[in-house]
Amino acid sequence: MLAGLNAALLLVGVWAPVTASHLSNYHGHIMVLGFMGTVIALERAQALRQVWAYLAPATLGAGGIMLAFGQGLLGTLLLAEGALLFIVVYVFLWRRAPLPLVAVQVLSAVMAFAAAALMLVVPIAELIPVLAAFIVLTIASERAELAQLTMGARAIPLLVTFAAALSLATVAHLLWPGIGSRLFGLVQLLIALWLVRDDIPLRMIRTDGLRRYNAAALLAGYFWLALGGATWLVTGGHAGTVAYDVVIHTTFLGFGVSMIMAHAPIIFPTVLGRPLPYRPYFYVPLTTLHVGLAIRVVGDFMGQGVVWQVGSVLTVVSLVFFLIASVTSVVTHNPEKVAA
């Protein structure tokens, strides 16, 4: 993650701790598959509870590290191998519970593998919808799994329908980028509207503590997912345009990272084997992320480079804050005090 954040600073043209030029070439690879992919695969390996399953996150993480050291071919091959192992993990989870929900998760891993494999021959700028499909399908299925009791009986059929539509749109983008990217944006927008309507954050936002924090992070993420989808739909989000920057960062930062922040107190304890209790200061990284992204998007649309840089730096800072907040929460947790 830190290598990806360093690359982000290089891309926006500000000071960065490490100035190696190759880092900026692999920013997307490292952040989406090297960081997010590793976190997601680690959680799924923990769910399978088989030692070999940890090869998936380990290989994805190793791929990200190799890219950070400038080993482009080796790093990308490791990402592809890690994603392939991730598919195998999901297949074993499917054999344990052959449910439509798990089938969608298998499909999400297929998208990760397709993206990593295609990176060997295709510029990453042409693969953004493939990477986005991995993140969107993963999180949408996670939300349907966590909230299916409140989302109702139609949640899983709708999820499967949207997953099929998003996958077809992804293939369409690879074959016919002009119409395919707009179709992808339409499906992404519909998924965001579905999650806002049927998921639980609108009801939880009136509560307090962890549930309100979770709801705030979810709602903010769904807003950015919708904006990214709408931008893709209207503009096509072609590389080299303002819209390209907007669709990437609203989808992966505004939606993807916000979902990680939302689920961290719920899922990370399973992964870490230690409690990650909610703290009010979790709002600091969450707020910094969304304020920074809003400033970045405004800078994009207004053509204000300095504003864009300020917003970009704030989003990087938000992830550093998130790391610090998470470590602090784990380290300062006192089980005896809680029990008392």
Q: What is the mean pLDDT of each run of 10 residues along the chain (340 residues)?
A: 89 90 92 96 94 97 96 97 98 95 97 98 97 98 83 89 98 96 98 94 92 96 98 95 97 97 88 87 98 98 95 97 95 63
Confidence at residue 335, expressed as pLDDT on a 0 to 100 scale: 65
Model pLDDT, residue 239: 92
| Domains of the chain by residue range | 1-111
Euclidean distance between CA atoms 37 and 214, whole angstroms? 21
pTM for the model stands at: 0.95
Provide the token pair at 95. 């054999």
pLDDT for the residue numbered 336: 54
pLDDT of residue 266: 86
Q: What pLDDT sits at residue 272?
A: 75
**pLDDT value of residue 273:** 78
